[in-house]
Amino acid sequence: MSARLLDGKGTAADIRSELVPRVAACTRRLGRPPTLGILLVGDDPASQVYVGTKSRAGAEIGLSVEVVSLPSTATLEAARQVVERFNASDDHDGILVQSPLPAALGPEAERALFDAIDPLKDVDGFHPANVGRLVQARPRFAPCTPAGILELLDRSGIELAGRRAVVIGRSQIVGKPVAMLLLHRHATVTICHSRTRELPAVAREAEILVAALGRPAFVTPEYVRPGATVVDVGINRVADAATIRDLLPADSPRLAAFAKRGALLIGDVHPAVADTAGAFTPVPGGVGPMTVAMLMVNTVRAAEIRLGVDG
């Protein structure tokens, strides 16, 4: 492995430490800690883990986090009522709807709930008003994963202006907003997707390559320009032993972890890319911790906006 590792875990810890005095200042003025309301619908194990991680991160810096859990049989209207309660509450500064939602709520459930959130409490940055502000380069709350990617690149000393960036993936949550943030930082940006022709050749043009397509180990060395910075957004649970053996070298310490747990988290980028890239984000320990850290940043900012400190 020759590439430089971009440490999201350590950088996220630095960000949380920097937030502590801001949280304390808000708490003094509000008479309570800044508070995040999370709606969790259903029993998806990964979502439960993510919500637990967010709750612990908030408690670590002095935030209050209220989680409202609804069963998978809940209706969309019941979920909307929780959002409206958070909207009307003077004790909640930020609101997050954990995704994915159960399929039984319908294909438009996420959009309906994101649209129902007060834009001033929309700490995920998915409300149309906040998306519009992002497009206009005056974001109130940038989506947490894209914001975390930019923050990690900045704190790692990765130059953005004038660089050629390629984003593989066009989701509303990651692909499109990270492309917009890179564009605002004067990168030249190409967004690729399932219908992009000659995708490996297009990706090889990138000095900064962001993989956000949700397919384990899809981006192999042929996609990567030597020396490029590669950002791996994927978090894919892989439980097939043959696949793991194909992906990891025989001396990888992760094989022992697989033998113990029966599964590993694998990114969208093949581990062999580390021999071609100049820098890369690991999975786990790269983009994931930064996403949680930027959720904390957005929640504190929401409290500061309420106090007239910012925005």
- Residues with a catalytic annotation lie at 54, 98, 124
**CATH number of domain containing 26:** 3.40.50.10860
Domain assignment present for 126? no
| Residue 40 is assigned to a structural domain of this protein | yes
Structural domain includes residue 3: no
Encode burial over 18-52: b for 16+ CB neighbours within 10 A, e otherwise.
Answer: ebeebbebbbeebeebbbbbbbbbbebeebeebbe
The closest of 292, 291, 289, 232 to 266, measured between CA atoms, is 232
Supply the mean pLDDT for the chain: 96
Q: Is residue 86 located within the same domain as residue 183?
A: no
Query: In whole angstroms, what is the distance from residue 130 CA to residue 48 CA?
Result: 26
Per-residue pLDDT, 3:
86
Kindly state the average pLDDT of the residues 128-153: 97
- For residues 45 and 263, what is the distance between their CA atoms, to the nearest angstrom? 14
Give the residue-averaged pLDDT of 26-51: 96
Residues 34 and 67 occupy one common structural domain: yes
Q: Is the overall model pTM greater than 0.85, yes or no?
A: yes
Has residue 35 been placed in a domain? yes
pLDDT exceeds 70 at position 286: yes
User: Does a structural domain hold residue 13?
Assistant: no
In the three-class reduction of DSSP (H, G, I as helix; E, B as strand; rest coil), residue 46 is classed as helix
Kindly tell me if the per-residue pLDDT of 297 is higher than 90: yes
Inform me whether the pLDDT recorded for 311 exceeds 80. Answer: no
Other C-beta atoms within 10 Å of 118: how many? 18
| pLDDT at residue 1 tops 70 | no
| Residue 2 is assigned to a structural domain of this protein | no
Per the structure, the complete domain to which residue 185 belongs is given by 144-287
CA 287, CA 282: separation in Å to the nearest integer?
8
Q: Do 70 and 54 fall within a single domain? A: yes
> How many alpha carbons lie under 13 Å from residue 197 in its C-beta half-sphere?
0
277 in a structural domain = yes
